[in-house]
Each structure stands twice: as structure tokens, then as C-alpha cells.
Copies of this chain bind each other. A is one copy, B any other.
Amino acid sequence: MQRLKMGMIGGGRGAFIGAIHRAAALMDNQIELVCGCFSSKAEVSLASGRDLGLSDDRIYTTYEEMIRRECALDPAQRMDFVSIVTPNQLHFAPAMMALEQGFDVVLDKPMTFSLEEAYQLKAKVEQTGRILALTHTYSGYPMVKEARFRVARGDFGRIRKIYVEYPQGWLSTRVELQAGSNAGWRTDPKRSGKAGAMGDIGTHALQLAEYVASQRCTSLCADLQAVVEGRLLDDDGAALLRFDGGASGVLIATQVAAGEENALNIRVYGEKGGLQWSQMDPNALYLRWPDRPMEVLHTGNGYMSAVAQINTRTPGGHPEGYIEAFANLYRNFARTVQAKRRGEKVPDEVDFPTVEDGVRGMQFIETMVRAGYDNDHKWVDWVK
């Protein structure tokens, strides 16, 4: 099988998430890195590309140059898709151009800087027929897929309650004032967009909740704030939620829970029982029942669903983690791209977040910001 050829925008030396994307993409030997524009600083891009074993003629300084010059290459050489891992305000333009020039796209979340951009990007995807994957990493975990599968199968009956929380602590102080901090752009309205924590981690929480529960939020009541003095965007928030399937719930997202690392956690309860999944214990799924003992599923075992199994690389007891979850997004994206080229369809299990999830995420930001600072009105309808 021919490996897919990836170009990368962003992710130069020192950028945490770029390295994760590459490890995830390369791990299964179905994708190779062929070119990149790793930084807007020419020397950083060059050095980063050389670190990665690229020849200088495939290392670019601007995304426009990269897309243009890759287009001009022989198809056997040319990149197949582009992975965009830049700050939020630099998602839209390269994604639009890549789609227009016939490249599939992997894009970090939140999808765009504004909701308006999200709608334009969605229209572009539909118009071009290209494939866009949005890296909501957590939905790549096999246990999250197992959870979704079991809810959809009805194991818990009708879902009544959805609690999702995402506490982090790394913004407990103004780390954004330190040079080189990843917090810089995330707390800057000019680069992050309307929201801080809600865009960075709230969108993950919302996507996880909707993905697992197969219900969509329809209205919410929120409280947003910048807890740390001097910060311009929210670093903390919570919301009461209502869903179209009849469930209600709570979403918590905060980056000032000092001491917390990345404690994303979801609990979903139906008439007959409930489930819990925690990102820091990702290979387990806890099922609670009123009338029989709690069950703890572990990935890699024969009792797991097909969708979990095809998103697992190791047998039971051999932990997988964040990079493998990420790799599942890339692998499923790659399988989909390859299948499309062969005129085939992939099975439903080969899934990944799409431009639709991206639009939902941007709507979530818009709704949360509208609700979270409004001290008069309680319930705010989902913004469309």
C-alpha cells in the first residue's frame, strides 16, 4: 500500500502539538512526512524541517508558497494532504487554500477564529468534496468509542444525565507573560478568538459529551470569567446544559484548578445504569448498574466492541495513551482518503471528527460567550 504524503503547517521546534501530530501520523506507517512550513520565521522552519529529515527544497516559509509549489510537483512526489497545527487565527486561510487546491486537510481545534469562518470552511468542504478531519483527540480513544457504542446500543436505556468536566491548572498564574509559553496565543483575543478556556478545552468537553451521548446540546446557562487578574479571555467556566434527546447535564471547563493536569472526565447516566471515562485513566471504562456489580472494561480484550478493537493496537493490559488516540484520527482519516481514491467506502467504525464537529465547536464558543457574561437571562438557545 502506498503511504499518504503529509505536509505540515506549523509545529516547528518547541511546539508541543506539532510533534504529537507527527508521531500520531507516522506511527502506523501509513503516512509519511514529505514537506512542511513549520514556522513563519524562515530559519526556524528550515531548522525544524532538517530535524525531521526533510530536504531543504521541501521546507517552506509560508503556507502559500508551500501549497503553490507542492501543486507544481509531480503527483508521485506531491503531498496528499496538509496538517495544520497553528494557533486559531491561522487555521482558516491555509485550510481554505488547501481545499481549493485539491488537498485534504487535518486541522487542529477549535476549527477557526470565528463562527463566520467556520461556516465558510464548511461550505468550502462541501463544495470541493475534500476530506477535513478535526483533531478532537479524545474521541479517538478506543474507550470513548466503546462508550458511544454502548450508549447507542441502549445499554443504559434513555440517557438522562450528562456530566462532563475538564479541569486543568496550568493557567493558575499568568504564565502567558513568560516568553515562549504556549499560553501566549491562547489567552490573546487577537489570536485565540472570542474565548480562551472555552475554545481550548471547553470545545473538547462539549464534543466528547455529544459524541458519547449521541445527543446535541440545545440550550445552556453559563457562568464565564477570567479568574486570574489581568487576563483578557475566560480561563474558567461552567454551564448547565439541555440536550435534544431529553438529557440535562453540567459542563465544567477550567484552567485555574491549580494542580490539575488534564483531567477530562465524562459520566453519562440512563434509566438502567451509567458510564464513566477519565482521560488520565484512558484504557478503562467504568459501568455502574443499580442491581449488579460495577464493571470495569479494559481495552484490548475480546469483549470489546468492533469499533473499539479497530482503534486499539495492543492487547489487554498494555496501556495506550494520548498519542495512540491521536493516531486513530490520522489512521481513520488516511483510510478514508485511500478508500475514496479507490472509490470505496469505509465502514462506519472508521470515523473521525469532521467539519461538522468544527462548526458545533464554534457555535459552542459563541453560545457560551453569549450566556456566560449575561447575568440576567438564564437559558440561552444554541447559537446557529
Binding site for B on A (CB under 8 A): 1-3, 16, 19-20, 22-23, 26-30, 33, 50-53, 156, 160-161, 163, 165, 167-170, 172-173, 221, 223, 225, 227, 236, 238, 240, 248-250, 252, 254, 256-263, 267, 269-274, 279-283, 287-298, 300-303, 313-324, 374-379
Query: Assembly of this chain: how many copies?
Result: 4
CA distance A203 to B379 in the complex (A): 25
Question: A291: which B residues are within 8 A, CB to CB?
Answer: 302-303
Q: Of the candidates B225, B271, B280, which one forms a contact with A319 in the assembled complex, judged by CB atoms under 8 Å apart?
A: B280
Secondary structure dominating the interface of A: loop
Question: A283: which B residues are within 8 A, CB to CB?
Answer: 280, 321
Instruction: Known A-B contacts: A1-B50, A169-B274, A280-B319. Give 19 more (CB < 8 A).
Output: A22-B29, A26-B27, A163-B252, A169-B269, A169-B288, A223-B248, A238-B250, A257-B269, A258-B274, A259-B274, A259-B294, A260-B269, A261-B298, A262-B317, A293-B295, A293-B303, A318-B322, A323-B323, A374-B378
Contact assessment for B172 and A271 in the assembled complex, using a CB-CB cutoff below 8 Å: yes
Question: A302: which B residues are within 8 A, CB to CB?
Answer: 291
Question: A313: which B residues are within 8 A, CB to CB?
Answer: 19-20, 23, 323
9 contacts between A and B (CB under 8 A): A20-B313, A160-B227, A161-B254, A172-B290, A260-B274, A261-B318, A263-B317, A281-B319, A376-B378
